[in-house]
Structure 1
């Protein structure tokens, strides 16, 4: 009689073989799907499938929106890690190998963990608010940018940082990876130091762009500029959505249902109608892109996910994303991270394998951007330098700070809650960081990084805005807790939200209007939505010049004009053209030359032409330039200088 197999081994063997076969089939499908979508030019579907697939393997999150947001957080860290791989493997950012690798990873995770894909179907009224408000914000943000490259430029041409960020994005597209791996090639395309600038946002934009176009080769520089502007606009809308979700997550059950409406109004009021728009129009691409992951980091460290393993992975992923995108926000956040790690130490030790894996994998990714950029940003002088930045409305910010602190400190419910205590730690560390930078700048409130620290404080306070609900008497909050009553509390919550939004429309403009302020004392968001605060003349000059001279033939192009906004057009126009011609590193000294005074004397023009190490082409409506160039050619016929006339009102 044959010996019987041990039941445990038999069942294990029978379980392992089918799982292995399923995994092998899954790996095959993981590559067949990208190949199929690529053949029909529909690779844009792939990131959506990866996102849904990631969400289906997670188990935390009460509603479908919760699950999708947490999956986005995990994927953001995956892109940060993947960017390093994509930069050294031979396929760059091509959609098929990127998506195939992502799908294969999901299949292997499912096989190892034994998890089957599943998604929650529950929808909360607050989900409707979040999705609806985010969609409206996206439409309002994209509408002025959408028609054409000129339309995008009339919004972004004012901010010189936007030009440099586009240059980083465009060169990542050209080389197929992060630019620190291609520094010698970047001497001509980029200004010194920008090849090592944090590039998490730029590489993400490039990846999405390649999926949309089913390849890594398409269009002209103006086409890519337009797509970059649209992706940048979407990143602001996504950040608004992430901040709203984070505020709801930290608030817990108190912000479920329609009670979330006023908090959503506060977030959109500040980030669209208030100081979020000047941050956007100044071209602070990395900062706008980091708002969302930074808010999610605050949320999951304040109120950890129910599964400690998923909490460890998500926290590590978000730390990597923030560091790779804009690590300046980690300077003050590191205090809160340490406080969380100490408070969460038992779970970290209990799941030490996951903790060790997060450190070994996430640690190098999180350290990559700060270390590679150490030479450029390692001094105190860098943190105290001047720069083009709009001063925050400190009156509104102070009011928000006061209300959030009242909710966190006065209410016993907040003092007893670990989530709200952690939120208080975030607020205190952010206020302290801003205070240190303010002192370091000798009390000057217009220093560049001091204002950046206020931007960070704003995000922290908006995530903590749910504390305002704690100040509402319990009797008024009671209707929101009735289960199964979708309409309970809708009318009072909607009325409060409407009052907050109307107040933001009328009063969320700058406290001290400067050159770039909205016209007629409007709020930033109202002026943006009405397309009032734009610079169409500089945008037209840039686009018309590039269309007339679409190739870089070794000349440095200087856009030199007389007329309205001549200073903006001459400096920012020359800057944007150098990025479009991909010779910003070479043209940067010429751009600096036009900056101090837009109208040069004949002697200054002649000296500049003779001293320039590169041939110069003036695109101008100024007769003085033609006169000086004609004089130089008479005395030095061999000099390489050109004048291209352009009509400029």
Structure 2
């Protein structure tokens, strides 16, 4: 009892102390390590940290509901104090004392090294400034809307579903109830980094958002690699993991992961990691059934709060897993019941609060802006994984690999169903999203491809031998796979948004070739030049390089930076499908607009239209601000 009291006091004293010196950034790490120290699953330190991350992700999903309604918002001290107190109470109730494994495997080194390298490569183009971030993100219109959600969670201090009446002006209708697990976590992390919930301008917050988004992609790559290793079990320990790591990074950095990132699919990128971890723990459950139940429930909550589209097919696999795991679920029925009573409402929150969209069949058949995947590479990966799962006796006799086969078959069936339902769309938006989900499943099961090579996964029993055994052939195979990804990981088509060097997405991104500097500079220059809260809706209307992209995406980005997208979204759509409008169309738009309009433009036609409207109706509030544009 005395230890618990001391622990609770320390749980609040530490956050207060770090806050006084402005070093709250250490608190999330302390909570993460503390969670890991109370778990017992996992052979290595990295295993334990990954499982702790899975549990914490669900904890944040649950806490998001609490933090959105309590009086302290997302202030670091009460958030960290509550989290650390919870860990102390768990330790007292369970009788567990902090303990971490010291074991490190060669595959841990591979995973950590590849993840750090991915983080460096992803962050490098984003890091210098808000303009640098925008030149990457300006391509994807979705990134602007996600930033709008993030920035308003920062302003309100909680999930926007609890502040819908305040969101009429800042956000387009429907976005206040969009799944916000990723956005909420970004704000929470930023508050710890800045030791407070009040910092920066919209442009600096945009830069922070972009950096966290980049780190999320790197974290997702790490989670997928770990999930692939966990499913492979002992057979993928040691250097045999190298080719698997190369496959994961090849697809997610050099291949289709980068266009998913640059198109601004923030929630999807954030869901990749927890989704991969969920695949892994359902395929190969943790050694302690109680920890398995808690971890699986936590990851289901995280996926639902972040991107519940992935739950449509996942629910089938969860039911199959629950049937196979029923003895443990019944034996530990109190834990099962607790997971249902606590995790159920959290997992249902995002779909239910967004029921109008979530319950719409037409939503799954709508078209949208998405980069078609390289189906040739995806088919090759699918064939290799299926061969490994079906041909090798080792896979057929393993419960983990049999469960992976269930995941693959279910994901293929889901993608096929969406393909059949969306034949009218040119890009089949949600069909492509189902292929993203299938890709995650195949990458987690990528260890099955290694099983096709006889003798490649016979890890020595002695630890010292394992550090050297198979290093040379595994390194050669990994290098060959990465070189192949660099040369063949690009798109199957051509266009101004594609890698200009004709190779992979990742190479183009790392070399900062496929960026949009002109739109980014125009957006930042406009934002810096004009007043922010004077009631005007700003339309960035330019003629020149990337004029269509700049006019549409630029107007969209300005509306979220000015925090008036709820009013401006109709003006943003008006510029489509092309910024080349007639003078009569421009004049009609000015007269019909319910809000005063400010054109930032280099087009003489716009100035002529504004001048004519002013002559015929002097009461119309409209302005023209000249801009220099390439």
Q: What's the TM-score once normalised by structure 1's chain length?
A: 0.96
Task: Give the secondary-structure state (helix, strand or coil) at the position aligned to 1:520.
Answer: coil
Q: For residue 648 of structure 1, what is the aligned residue in structure 2?
A: 629
Following superposition of structure 1 onto structure 2, how do residues 619-634 of structure 1 map, counting pairs within 5 Å? 619-634=600-615
Corresponding residue of 1:16: none
CA contact (8 A) 1:332 1:430 kept: yes
- 1:362 Cα deviation (Å)? 0.2
Partner of 2:107: 126
2:518 paired with 1:525: no
- Find out whether 1:426 has 2:407 as its counterpart: yes
Contact 2:105 2:238 in 1 (8 A): yes
- Conserved in 2, the CA contact under 8 Å of 1:258 and 1:480? no
Give the structure 2 partner of residue 80 of structure 1: 61
1:200 corresponds to: 181
Corresponding residue for residue 15 of structure 1:
none
Do 1:259 and 1:480's aligned partners in 2 also have CA atoms closer than 8 Å?
A: no
Query: Does the Cα contact within 8 Å between 2:61 and 2:305 map onto a contact in 1?
Result: yes
Counterpart Cα distance in 2 of 1:93 and 1:234: 21
Return the match for 1:117 from 98, 106, 110: 98
1:251 to 232, 236, 239: 232
Q: Matched residue of 1:484: which SS?
A: helix
Contact preservation (8 Å) 1:480, 1:489: no
Counterpart check, 1:478 vs 2:458: yes
Query: What are the equivalent positions in structure 2 for 1:358-373 lying under 5 Å apart?
Result: 358-373=339-354
2:77 counterpart of 1:96: yes
> In 2, are the aligned partners of 1:275 and 1:508 still within 8 Å (CA)?
yes
Give the distance between the partners of 1:159 and 1:79, measured in 2 at CA.
Answer: 27
Query: What is the DSSP-based 3-state SS (H/G/I as helix, E as strand, rest coil) of the residue aligned with 1:488?
Result: coil
What is the aligned partner in structure 1 of residue 20 from structure 2? 39
TM-fit CA distance, 1:629: 1.3
Establish whether residue 606 from structure 1 lines up as the match of residue 601 from structure 2. Answer: no
Q: How far has the Cα of 1:513 moved from its partner?
A: 2.9
Please list the CA deviations of residues 598-627 of structure 1 after superposition, one character each: whole Å capped at 9, or x if unmatched. Answer: 111111111110110000001111112122
Q: Which residue of 2 aligns with 1:8?
A: none
1:465-495 deviation line (CA, Å, top 9, x unaligned):
0011211112x44365553221111111001
* Range with bigger deviation, 46-55 or 504-513: 504-513
Taking the aligned partners of 2:301 and 2:463, their CA distance within structure 1 comes to: 38
Q: Compare 376-385 and 455-464 and name the one that shifted more.
A: 376-385
Counterpart of 1:59 (choices 40, 43, 48) is 40
User: Deviation digits for residues 323-375 of structure 1, max 9, x if unmatched?
Assistant: 00000001001111011100000001111111110000000000000000111
Tell me what 1:401 maps to.
382
1:278 corresponds to 2:278: no
SS at match of 1:366: helix
Between the aligned partners of 1:413 and 1:123, the Cα distance in structure 2 is: 26
Sort the Cα spacing of 1:479 and 1:369 in 2 relative to 1 into closer, same or farther, 3 A: closer
Q: Is the 8 A contact 1:348 1:355 kept in 2?
A: yes
Match of 2:596 in 1: 615
Q: Secondary structure at the match of 1:431?
A: helix
Distance in 2 (alpha carbons) for counterparts of 1:178 and 1:37:
26
In structure 1, the gaps of 5 or more residues are: 1-19
1:343 paired to 2:343: no
- 2:181 and 2:292 mapped to 1: Cα distance? 22
Counterpart selection for 2:520 from 511, 530, 539? 539
After TM superposition, give the deviation of residue 60 of structure 1 in Å.
Answer: 0.6
CA shift, 1:520, in A, is: 2.5
Please give the per-residue CA displacement for 1:81-118, whole angstroms capped at 9, x wherever unaligned.
00000000001111110000000000000000000001
The structure 2 residue matched to 1:291, chosen from 272, 276, 279, is 272
Instruction: Structure 2 unaligned segments of length 5 or more: list them.
Output: none
Kindly indicate whether the alpha-carbon contact (under 8 Å) linking 1:77 and 1:318 is maintained by their aligned counterparts in 2. Answer: yes
Mapping of residues 14-33 of structure 1, within 5 Å? 20-33=1-14
Partner secondary structure for residue 557 of structure 1: strand
Q: Residue 188 in 1 paired to residue 169 in 2?
A: yes
Task: Check conservation: 2:367, 2:425, Cα contact below 8 A.
Answer: no
Retained in 2: the 8 A contact 1:34–1:99? Answer: yes
State the SS of the aligned residue for 1:442.
coil
Distance in 2 (alpha carbons) for counterparts of 1:214 and 1:108: 25
> Which SS does the other structure have where 1:119 is aligned?
coil
Contact preservation (8 Å) 2:366, 2:425: no
- Once the two structures are TM-superposed, the CA of residue 511 in structure 1 deviates from its matched residue by 1.6
Q: 1:480 to 1:591 in 2, by over 3 A?
A: farther
How many residue pairs are counted as aligned between the two chains? 629
SS in 2 for 1:521: coil
Preserved CA contact (<8 Å) 1:391 1:445 = no
1:214 aligns with 2:213: no
Distance 1:568 1:393 in 2: 24
Question: 3-state DSSP class of the match of 2:538?
Answer: strand
Contact 2:501 2:508 in 1 (8 A): no
Give the structure 1 partner of residue 315 of structure 2: 334
| TM-score normalised by the chain length of structure 2 | 0.99
Contact 2:538 2:597 in 1 (8 A): yes
1:351-402, CA deviations, whole angstroms, 9 ceiling, x for partnerless residues? 1111110000000000000000111231211101110000000000000000
Residue in 2 that maps onto 1:639: 620
C-alpha separation in 2, matches of 1:555 and 1:621: 19
Q: 1:114 to 1:215 in 2, by over 3 A?
A: same
* 2:365 maps to 1:384: yes
1:168 and 1:195 in contact (8 A); partners too: yes
8 Å CA contact 2:238, 2:459 repeated in 1: no
1:220-259 C-alpha deviation (Å, 9 max, x unpaired): 0000000000000000000000000000000001100000
Cα distance in 1 between the residues matched to 2:237 and 2:357: 45
Partners of 2:425 and 2:176 lie apart in 1 by: 30
Runs of 4+ in 1 over 4 A off after TM superposition: 479-482
In structure 2, C-alpha distance between the alignment counterparts of 1:478 and 1:491, rounded to whole Å: 14
1:240 counterpart residue number: 221
| Superposition CA RMSD, Å | 1.0
C-alpha contact 1:130 1:245 (8 A) present in aligned 2: yes
Work out which of the two has the higher radius of gyration on C-alpha atoms and give 1 or 2. 1
SS in 1 for 2:624: strand
Tell me whether 1:414 sits opposite 2:395 in the alignment: yes
How far apart are the structure 2 equivalents of 1:625 and 1:103? 58
1:572 paired residue number: 553
Is the contact between residue 296 and residue 318 of structure 1 (CA under 8 Å) also seen in structure 2?
Answer: yes
Q: Deviation string for 1:168-218 (max 9, x for gaps)?
A: 000000000000001111111001110000000000000000000001101
